[in-house]
Amino acid sequence: MQLNFAATSQIGSGLAGSGALVVGVGEGGAMTQSAARADKASGGALSRAMGQGRFTGKSGTTLEILAPAGLTWSRVVLAGLGAAADFTAGRVEQLAATVTGKLLDSGERTATLQIEPPGGATAIRGARLAAHLAFGARLASYRFDSYRRKSAQEHKPSLEKVTVATGDRVAAERAWQPLKAVADGVFLARDLVNEPPNVLSPTEFARRAKALSRHGLKVEVLDEAAMKKLGMNALLGVGQGSARESHVVVLQWNGAKSGAKAKGRAPVALVGKGVCFDSGGLSLKTGAGMMGMKGDMGGAAAVTGTMLALAARKARVNAVGVIGLVENMPGSNAQRPDDVVESMSGQTIEVLNTDAEGRLVLADVLWYTQTRFAPRCVIDLATLTGSIMASLGREYAGLFANDETLAARLIAAGEEAGEPVWRFPMGAGYDKLIKSKIADMKNIGGPLAGAIVAAQFLKRFIADDTVWAHLDIAGVAWQDSDSRPLTPGWATGWGIRVLNRLIAAHYEK
């Protein structure tokens, strides 16, 4: 779908348009200037339509008027803006996504968003308002149709172009560029998670990551021989039942300002679990439990998408993304329950359940990232546990951290970006649940507090002086319905927006 910005139309002053026109109505039914002009030109058609229903301008609601008399637009969509105090960037994005979602398959080919803030003081207006409208529309336009053949045309959206009207087109386009980079990162992550597992093997994932070097990222791919030399036996153990080779991919972005001080600045490190398909290994999942496990690399997808976003918007930060890519299969050489492996850190792990594999992958990747890069902080993302969904459903990601400042920053960034996180406790009582009788630790802790125990396991591979946070995104990396305007389809691309917001707010100073 094409997105562009144009000078604000003068509706009712002799200039007309085609397609759908979207105008705003504040809480209580207060029309914005554009809506009032359209209402006047239509002889009060908009007012009459509002008077016949329950539409009052509440945020998230819409009202469509088809072929209103006196206007050349094929339809007018009234979009609820809500109260001025709640008119934030996040609400603006939701508004644009909601309208775009309704129009995608409506038969309309073009739409013009002419949205002004509701009356009163608001957090967003002008060029920023226009840019966030475009961002919401872009995120809502996502489709994954790569494997449609005969039905491709049937599922193709009719909406081809969205124009955002603004008083300052140049400023709006300038404000849009970094958001466009974030949207590109989200789309990349969604594409990766949506790909079928027979296509997106660890090697194919690594190849696609390598291709991002054209955006200015430095990309390295470690093969199994290199990982074996490094002692990554925990990660390699997960993948040894698969015919497909495991990989670790390192993506670096060195965008900090030039100068001696900036040159030596330690990077922000992002680490992702990349299990390209998870059968459970010899601790085999049920058939129903295996469905959707192509998405068990959602953490790696989020890291890859974030690194693309940082490079595309030329973020003034040094950042490194490290992803562990494996396939967990029950082959003849598969890891067995009761096996003991020695991780890269030297700590030994008793593997009691081969379906608790993501933490084994992260154990080695976390240690590698710290020892090689000595980062300012480490944030890992993983579709790690079903337990987190039992607690939070699909509304929040679970947050675990050893640092109060980083935890608070992630919570704030999540709220601002529309990807909220909820912090869980950690402590010695949970840590003792992974005490092993024959090794340094075991990889499961019993039926209780599964997400917390998994985080305690990861913490054993975090150095005492490393600032660290773990995001369990098992509940938010994909969804089974299209009910959320900003995340249509299955894969959500969760993580890019919150990480980008965190880095922009705290690590690019």
Three-state SS letters, 38-104: HHHHCCCHHHHHHHCCCCCCCCCCEEEEECCCCCCCCEEEEEEEECHHHCCHHHHHHHHHHHHHHHC
Would residue 150 show up in a list of annotated catalytic residues for this protein?
A: no
Which segment of 176-185, 263-272, 290-299 scores lowest on mean pLDDT? 263-272
Which pLDDT band, with edges at 50, 70 and 90, does 295 fall under?
very high
Q: Report in angstroms the alpha-carbon separations of 274 from 102, 146, 360, 393, 404.
A: 34, 22, 11, 22, 27
Nearest residue to 84 (alpha-carbon basis) of 31, 27, 122: 122
pLDDT tens-digit series, residues 445-472: 999 999 999 999 999 999 999 999 999 9
The predicted model scores a pTM of: 0.96
Which pLDDT band, with edges at 50, 70 and 90, does 239 fall under?
very high
CA distance 342 to 330: 21
Would residue 285 show up in a list of annotated catalytic residues for this protein?
A: yes
Q: What are the tokens at 92?
A: 């603006």
- Which is more confident, 176 or 68? 176
pLDDT tens-digit series, residues 405-432: 999 999 999 999 999 999 999 999 999 9
392: Cβ contacts below 8 Å, ≥ 6 apart: 398, 422, 475
**Rg for the chain (alpha carbons), in Å?**
25
Task: List beta partners, residue 458.
Answer: none
> Side-chain half-sphere of 137: how many Cα atoms within 13 Å?
29
Q: What are the tokens at 14?
A: 């002799």
Q: What is the mean pLDDT of residues 174-203?
A: 98
Asked if residue 304 has pLDDT above 70, the reply is yes
Which pLDDT band, with edges at 50, 70 and 90, does 12 fall under?
very low
Q: Are 417 and 493 in contact (CB under 8 A)?
A: no
Asked if residue 259 has pLDDT above 90, the reply is no
Asked if residue 192 has pLDDT above 50, the reply is yes
Q: Are 156 and 146 in contact (CB under 8 A)?
A: no
CA distance 253 to 304: 11
Number of other residues whose CB lies within 10 A of the CB of residue 109: 15
Element (H, E) at 276: strand 268-278
Handedness of CA 163, 165, 168, 174 (dihedral sign): negative
Task: List beta partners, residue 163.
Answer: 4, 112
Spot the catalytic one: 128, 169, 210, 285. 285
Please state the domain extents for the chain. 2-167, 180-506
CA distance 165 to 355: 51
Q: What is the 3-state secondary structure (H, E, C) of 220-267?
A: EEECHHHHHHHCCHHHHHHHCCCCCCCEEEEEEEECCCCCHHHHCCCC
Spot the catalytic one: 75, 359, 442, 459. 359
Q: What is the mean pLDDT of residues 178-188?
A: 98
Can you tell me whether residue 208 is helix, strand or coil? helix
Q: Are 492 and 477 in contact (CB under 8 A)?
A: yes
CB contact burial 137-170 (16+ within 10 A = b; e otherwise): bbbbbbebeeeeeeeeeeeebebeebbbbbeebe
pLDDT (0 to 100) of residue 258: 65
CB contact burial 188-225 (16+ within 10 A = b; e otherwise): bbbbbbbbebeebbbbbbbebbeebeebebebebbebe
179: Cβ contacts below 8 Å, ≥ 6 apart: 131, 132, 134, 135
Can you tell me whether residue 15 is helix, strand or coil? strand
Task: Select 180-506's CATH number: 3.40.630.10, 3.40.50.9100, 3.40.50.150, 2.40.110.20.
Answer: 3.40.630.10
> Side-chain half-sphere of 123: how many Cα atoms within 13 Å?
13
Number of other residues whose CB lies within 10 A of the CB of residue 84: 16
pLDDT (0 to 100) of residue 482: 72
pLDDT (0 to 100) of residue 15: 46
∠ CA(193), CA(476), CA(500), 5° rounding?
Answer: 80
CA distance 277 to 328: 6
∠ CA(214), CA(220), CA(224), 5° rounding?
Answer: 140
**Which CATH code fits 2-167?**
3.40.220.10
Burial zone of 87 (CB within 10 Å; 0-12 exposed, 13-18 middle, 19+ buried): buried
Share of the chain above pLDDT 90, in %: 91
CA distance 469 to 85: 32
Asked if residue 11 has pLDDT above 80, the reply is no
Q: What is the 3-state secondary structure (H, E, C) of 447-496?
A: CCCHHHHHHHHHHCCCCCCCCEEEEECCCCCECCCCCCCCCCCCECCCCH
Which pLDDT band, with edges at 50, 70 and 90, does 14 fall under?
very low
- Which is more confident, 150 or 378? 378
Residues in the chain: 509
Instruction: Work out the mean pLDDT of the chain and round it to a whole number.
Output: 95
